[in-house]
Structure 1
Protein backbone atom coordinates (compact mmCIF):
# COMPACT_ATOMS: atom_id res chain seq x y z
CA UNK A 1 0.00 0.00 0.00
CA UNK A 2 1.35 3.40 -1.02
CA UNK A 3 1.34 6.08 1.68
CA UNK A 4 0.75 9.59 0.41
CA UNK A 5 3.09 12.17 1.93
CA UNK A 6 2.62 15.76 0.84
CA UNK A 7 5.50 17.11 -1.24
CA UNK A 8 7.55 19.72 0.55
CA UNK A 9 9.78 22.46 -0.85
CA UNK A 10 12.72 20.28 0.13
CA UNK A 11 11.36 17.45 -2.05
CA UNK A 12 10.88 19.78 -4.99
CA UNK A 13 14.35 21.34 -4.73
CA UNK A 14 16.13 18.00 -4.20
CA UNK A 15 14.37 16.38 -7.15
CA UNK A 16 14.97 19.40 -9.36
CA UNK A 17 18.70 19.47 -8.54
CA UNK A 18 19.01 15.70 -9.03
CA UNK A 19 17.30 15.85 -12.42
CA UNK A 20 19.27 18.94 -13.40
CA UNK A 21 22.50 17.08 -12.64
CA UNK A 22 21.56 13.97 -14.61
CA UNK A 23 19.94 15.77 -17.56
CA UNK A 24 22.80 18.29 -17.66
CA UNK A 25 25.26 15.41 -17.90
CA UNK A 26 23.35 13.95 -20.84
CA UNK A 27 23.37 17.32 -22.59
CA UNK A 28 27.09 17.73 -21.92
CA UNK A 29 27.84 14.28 -23.35
CA UNK A 30 25.76 14.94 -26.47
CA UNK A 31 27.39 18.31 -27.12
CA UNK A 32 30.97 17.23 -26.43
CA UNK A 33 30.93 13.56 -27.55
CA UNK A 34 33.28 14.17 -30.52
CA UNK A 35 35.84 15.95 -28.34
CA UNK A 36 35.96 13.31 -25.60
CA UNK A 37 39.07 11.10 -25.88
CA UNK A 38 38.47 7.55 -27.13
CA UNK A 39 40.16 6.11 -24.03
CA UNK A 40 38.91 7.27 -20.64
CA UNK A 41 39.17 6.05 -17.03
CA UNK A 42 36.82 3.20 -16.18
CA UNK A 43 37.82 2.89 -12.54
CA UNK A 44 39.64 4.84 -9.86
CA UNK A 45 41.25 3.34 -6.77
CA UNK A 46 40.57 4.54 -3.22
CA UNK A 47 43.03 7.45 -3.50
CA UNK A 48 41.55 8.62 -6.81
CA UNK A 49 44.20 7.25 -9.19
CA UNK A 50 43.11 5.79 -12.52
CA UNK A 51 43.58 2.02 -12.39
CA UNK A 52 41.60 0.90 -15.43
CA UNK A 53 41.07 2.42 -18.88
CA UNK A 54 38.16 1.78 -21.24
CA UNK A 55 36.41 3.29 -24.25
CA UNK A 56 34.32 6.43 -23.98
CA UNK A 57 31.13 4.44 -24.61
CA UNK A 58 31.36 3.32 -20.97
CA UNK A 59 30.31 6.86 -20.04
CA UNK A 60 26.82 5.90 -21.19
CA UNK A 61 26.84 2.92 -18.83
CA UNK A 62 28.01 5.09 -15.93
CA UNK A 63 25.26 7.61 -16.60
CA UNK A 64 22.68 4.82 -16.99
CA UNK A 65 23.63 3.43 -13.57
CA UNK A 66 23.12 6.89 -12.08
CA UNK A 67 19.65 7.07 -13.66
CA UNK A 68 18.74 3.55 -12.51
CA UNK A 69 19.71 4.39 -8.93
CA UNK A 70 17.80 7.69 -9.11
CA UNK A 71 14.64 6.00 -10.42
CA UNK A 72 14.97 3.16 -7.91
CA UNK A 73 15.18 5.62 -5.02
CA UNK A 74 12.17 7.50 -6.43
CA UNK A 75 10.18 4.26 -6.31
CA UNK A 76 11.32 3.41 -2.78
CA UNK A 77 10.41 6.96 -1.75
CA UNK A 78 6.78 6.22 -2.72
CA UNK A 79 6.65 3.29 -0.27
CA UNK A 80 8.37 4.51 2.93
CA UNK A 81 6.68 1.80 4.98
CA UNK A 82 9.04 -0.79 3.46
CA UNK A 83 12.00 0.87 5.18
CA UNK A 84 13.11 -0.61 8.48
CA UNK A 85 13.35 2.41 10.76
CA UNK A 86 14.30 0.66 13.98
CA UNK A 87 11.51 2.49 15.78
CA UNK A 88 7.85 1.65 16.15
CA UNK A 89 5.71 3.51 13.64
CA UNK A 90 2.36 4.45 15.13
CA UNK A 91 -0.61 6.46 13.86
CA UNK A 92 0.67 9.40 15.94
CA UNK A 93 4.23 9.46 14.57
CA UNK A 94 3.64 7.93 11.12
CA UNK A 95 3.63 11.18 9.18
CA UNK A 96 6.77 12.52 10.91
CA UNK A 97 8.66 9.24 10.49
CA UNK A 98 7.78 8.95 6.80
CA UNK A 99 8.67 12.61 6.20
CA UNK A 100 12.13 12.02 7.71
CA UNK A 101 12.58 8.90 5.56
CA UNK A 102 11.48 10.81 2.45
CA UNK A 103 13.96 13.59 3.22
CA UNK A 104 16.74 11.03 3.77
CA UNK A 105 16.02 9.22 0.51
CA UNK A 106 15.84 12.53 -1.36
CA UNK A 107 19.19 13.61 0.06
CA UNK A 108 20.81 10.31 -0.88
CA UNK A 109 19.22 10.56 -4.32
CA UNK A 110 20.80 13.98 -4.83
CA UNK A 111 24.21 12.80 -3.62
CA UNK A 112 24.12 9.79 -5.96
CA UNK A 113 23.01 11.90 -8.93
CA UNK A 114 25.79 14.39 -8.24
CA UNK A 115 28.50 11.76 -7.80
CA UNK A 116 27.56 9.87 -10.97
CA UNK A 117 27.39 13.10 -12.94
CA UNK A 118 30.72 14.21 -11.47
CA UNK A 119 32.40 10.90 -12.28
CA UNK A 120 30.99 10.92 -15.81
CA UNK A 121 32.16 14.46 -16.47
CA UNK A 122 35.49 14.05 -14.71
CA UNK A 123 36.29 10.91 -16.65
CA UNK A 124 36.15 12.92 -19.87
CA UNK A 125 39.25 14.81 -18.66
CA UNK A 126 41.26 11.59 -18.21
CA UNK A 127 42.71 12.82 -14.92
CA UNK A 128 43.04 11.32 -11.46
CA UNK A 129 40.40 12.25 -8.92
CA UNK A 130 41.36 14.24 -5.86
CA UNK A 131 42.50 11.99 -3.03
CA UNK A 132 39.72 13.66 -1.01
CA UNK A 133 36.94 12.52 -3.38
CA UNK A 134 36.14 9.18 -1.72
CA UNK A 135 36.37 10.38 1.90
CA UNK A 136 34.24 13.44 1.08
CA UNK A 137 31.59 11.33 -0.63
CA UNK A 138 31.51 8.82 2.23
CA UNK A 139 31.26 11.55 4.87
CA UNK A 140 28.40 13.20 2.98
CA UNK A 141 26.45 9.96 2.52
CA UNK A 142 26.99 8.47 5.98
CA UNK A 143 26.78 11.87 7.65
CA UNK A 144 23.39 12.45 6.00
CA UNK A 145 22.15 9.01 7.01
CA UNK A 146 23.34 9.58 10.59
CA UNK A 147 21.62 12.97 10.69
CA UNK A 148 18.30 11.46 9.61
CA UNK A 149 18.62 8.46 11.94
CA UNK A 150 19.12 10.86 14.85
CA UNK A 151 15.94 12.66 13.76
CA UNK A 152 14.10 9.32 13.67
CA UNK A 153 15.26 8.40 17.15
CA UNK A 154 14.04 11.76 18.47
CA UNK A 155 10.55 11.08 17.06
CA UNK A 156 10.34 7.90 19.12
Structure 2
Protein backbone atom coordinates (compact mmCIF):
# COMPACT_ATOMS: atom_id res chain seq x y z
CA UNK A 1 0.00 0.00 0.00
CA UNK A 2 1.37 3.37 -0.95
CA UNK A 3 1.54 6.16 1.63
CA UNK A 4 0.09 8.95 -0.53
CA UNK A 5 1.35 11.54 1.95
CA UNK A 6 2.66 14.78 0.56
CA UNK A 7 5.87 16.07 2.05
CA UNK A 8 5.55 19.52 3.55
CA UNK A 9 8.20 22.19 2.99
CA UNK A 10 9.37 21.51 6.54
CA UNK A 11 9.76 17.78 5.81
CA UNK A 12 11.80 18.53 2.69
CA UNK A 13 13.95 21.00 4.63
CA UNK A 14 14.63 18.38 7.33
CA UNK A 15 15.64 15.80 4.72
CA UNK A 16 17.97 18.29 3.00
CA UNK A 17 19.57 19.35 6.29
CA UNK A 18 20.21 15.76 7.37
CA UNK A 19 21.68 14.85 3.97
CA UNK A 20 23.90 17.96 3.97
CA UNK A 21 25.11 17.10 7.48
CA UNK A 22 26.12 13.60 6.36
CA UNK A 23 27.92 14.93 3.29
CA UNK A 24 29.66 17.65 5.32
CA UNK A 25 30.85 15.16 7.97
CA UNK A 26 32.32 12.83 5.34
CA UNK A 27 34.02 15.66 3.45
CA UNK A 28 35.41 17.17 6.64
CA UNK A 29 36.89 13.87 7.76
CA UNK A 30 38.28 12.94 4.33
CA UNK A 31 39.89 16.33 3.70
CA UNK A 32 41.44 16.59 7.17
CA UNK A 33 42.36 12.95 7.74
CA UNK A 34 45.99 13.28 6.59
CA UNK A 35 46.66 16.15 9.00
CA UNK A 36 45.32 14.30 12.05
CA UNK A 37 47.74 12.97 14.67
CA UNK A 38 48.12 9.19 14.79
CA UNK A 39 46.02 9.02 17.96
CA UNK A 40 42.83 10.98 18.51
CA UNK A 41 40.35 11.18 21.40
CA UNK A 42 37.66 8.54 21.03
CA UNK A 43 35.95 8.39 24.39
CA UNK A 44 34.76 11.13 26.69
CA UNK A 45 33.79 11.04 30.37
CA UNK A 46 30.40 12.19 31.59
CA UNK A 47 31.95 15.62 32.16
CA UNK A 48 33.16 15.75 28.56
CA UNK A 49 36.85 15.18 29.26
CA UNK A 50 38.85 12.93 26.97
CA UNK A 51 39.55 9.65 28.77
CA UNK A 52 40.66 7.40 25.91
CA UNK A 53 42.71 7.77 22.73
CA UNK A 54 42.49 5.58 19.66
CA UNK A 55 44.08 5.21 16.24
CA UNK A 56 42.81 7.83 13.80
CA UNK A 57 41.49 5.11 11.50
CA UNK A 58 38.82 4.38 14.13
CA UNK A 59 37.23 7.64 13.00
CA UNK A 60 35.77 5.68 10.10
CA UNK A 61 33.88 3.50 12.60
CA UNK A 62 32.21 6.66 13.88
CA UNK A 63 31.42 7.69 10.30
CA UNK A 64 29.98 4.24 9.65
CA UNK A 65 27.73 4.54 12.71
CA UNK A 66 26.56 8.00 11.63
CA UNK A 67 25.83 6.78 8.10
CA UNK A 68 24.03 3.68 9.41
CA UNK A 69 21.81 5.83 11.65
CA UNK A 70 21.05 8.16 8.74
CA UNK A 71 20.01 5.21 6.56
CA UNK A 72 18.01 3.63 9.40
CA UNK A 73 16.07 6.83 10.12
CA UNK A 74 15.48 7.32 6.39
CA UNK A 75 14.19 3.77 5.90
CA UNK A 76 11.87 4.09 8.90
CA UNK A 77 10.21 7.05 7.17
CA UNK A 78 9.21 4.82 4.26
CA UNK A 79 7.40 2.14 6.23
CA UNK A 80 3.96 2.34 4.64
CA UNK A 81 0.80 3.24 6.52
CA UNK A 82 -1.37 0.16 6.94
CA UNK A 83 -4.90 -0.15 8.18
CA UNK A 84 -3.78 -2.70 10.76
CA UNK A 85 -2.14 0.22 12.62
CA UNK A 86 -5.64 1.45 13.37
CA UNK A 87 -6.14 -1.29 15.93
CA UNK A 88 -3.44 -0.44 18.39
CA UNK A 89 -3.47 -1.90 21.87
CA UNK A 90 -7.07 -3.06 21.37
CA UNK A 91 -8.24 0.53 20.88
CA UNK A 92 -9.88 1.18 17.54
CA UNK A 93 -9.26 4.59 15.99
CA UNK A 94 -10.57 6.10 12.80
CA UNK A 95 -8.54 5.89 9.61
CA UNK A 96 -8.22 9.68 9.53
CA UNK A 97 -6.85 9.76 13.10
CA UNK A 98 -4.54 6.86 12.26
CA UNK A 99 -3.16 8.77 9.29
CA UNK A 100 -2.65 11.89 11.44
CA UNK A 101 -0.73 9.88 14.03
CA UNK A 102 1.30 8.22 11.27
CA UNK A 103 2.20 11.60 9.70
CA UNK A 104 3.19 13.03 13.10
CA UNK A 105 5.37 9.99 13.78
CA UNK A 106 7.16 10.31 10.43
CA UNK A 107 7.74 14.04 11.00
CA UNK A 108 9.07 13.29 14.51
CA UNK A 109 11.52 10.75 13.07
CA UNK A 110 12.79 13.32 10.58
CA UNK A 111 13.38 15.86 13.35
CA UNK A 112 15.13 13.26 15.51
CA UNK A 113 17.32 12.28 12.55
CA UNK A 114 18.57 15.86 12.17
CA UNK A 115 19.34 16.18 15.89
CA UNK A 116 21.08 12.81 16.21
CA UNK A 117 23.24 13.39 13.12
CA UNK A 118 23.98 16.96 14.21
CA UNK A 119 25.00 15.73 17.65
CA UNK A 120 27.30 13.10 16.16
CA UNK A 121 28.74 15.72 13.79
CA UNK A 122 29.68 17.84 16.83
CA UNK A 123 31.32 14.80 18.43
CA UNK A 124 33.22 14.05 15.21
CA UNK A 125 34.45 17.65 15.04
CA UNK A 126 35.55 17.53 18.69
CA UNK A 127 37.34 14.21 18.17
CA UNK A 128 39.21 15.52 15.14
CA UNK A 129 40.25 18.72 16.90
CA UNK A 130 41.24 16.96 20.15
CA UNK A 131 38.75 19.06 22.10
CA UNK A 132 36.91 18.19 25.26
CA UNK A 133 33.14 18.12 24.95
CA UNK A 134 31.27 20.58 27.11
CA UNK A 135 28.94 18.79 29.53
CA UNK A 136 26.00 20.73 28.05
CA UNK A 137 26.63 19.09 24.68
CA UNK A 138 26.57 15.65 26.29
CA UNK A 139 23.36 16.47 28.16
CA UNK A 140 21.67 18.21 25.23
CA UNK A 141 20.85 15.21 23.00
CA UNK A 142 18.87 13.22 25.58
CA UNK A 143 17.04 16.36 26.70
CA UNK A 144 16.21 17.39 23.14
CA UNK A 145 14.97 13.89 22.27
CA UNK A 146 12.82 13.79 25.42
CA UNK A 147 11.38 17.20 24.52
CA UNK A 148 10.60 16.08 20.95
CA UNK A 149 8.91 12.90 22.22
CA UNK A 150 6.87 14.82 24.80
CA UNK A 151 5.87 17.49 22.27
CA UNK A 152 4.64 14.96 19.72
CA UNK A 153 2.93 12.84 22.37
CA UNK A 154 1.01 15.90 23.59
CA UNK A 155 0.26 16.94 20.02
CA UNK A 156 -1.06 13.46 19.18
CA UNK A 157 -3.45 13.33 22.11
CA UNK A 158 -4.45 17.00 22.04
CA UNK A 159 -5.66 16.75 18.44
CA UNK A 160 -8.35 14.36 19.73
CA UNK A 161 -9.69 16.81 22.27
CA UNK A 162 -9.56 19.79 19.87
CA UNK A 163 -11.93 18.10 17.42
CA UNK A 164 -14.57 17.27 20.03
TM-score, normalised by the number of residues in structure 1? 0.89
Counterpart in the other structure of 1:24: 24
1:110 aligned partner: 114
Q: Which residue of 2 aligns with 1:37?
A: 37
Give unpaired runs (5+ residues) of structure 1. none
Give the ranges of 4+ consecutive aligned residues of structure 1 lying more than 4 Å apart after TM superposition.
80-83, 85-89
Corresponding residue of 2:96: 92
Superposed, which structure 2 residues align to 1:113-124 within 5 Å?
A: 113-124=117-128
Give the equivalent residue in structure 2 for 1:68. Answer: 68
Q: Deviations over 1:103-122 (max 9, x none)?
A: 10001100111111111111
What is the RMSD of the two structures over their aligned residues, measured on CA atoms? Answer: 2.2
Distance in 2 (CA, whole Å) between partners of 1:51 and 1:65 is 21
Larger radius of gyration: 2
Cα separation, 1, equivalents of 2:49 and 2:34: 25
Displacement after TM superposition at 1:88 (Å)? 5.0
SS at match of 2:95: coil
Cα deviation, 1:15-72, whole Å, max 9, x if unaligned, reads: 1111111100111112111111211111112111112110111111111111111111
Q: Secondary structure at the match of 2:17?
A: helix
| Structure 2 gaps, min length 5 | none
Q: How many residues align?
A: 156
Contact 1:2/1:78, CA 8 A, preserved across alignment? no
| Higher RCO (CA < 8 A, seq sep 6+) | 1
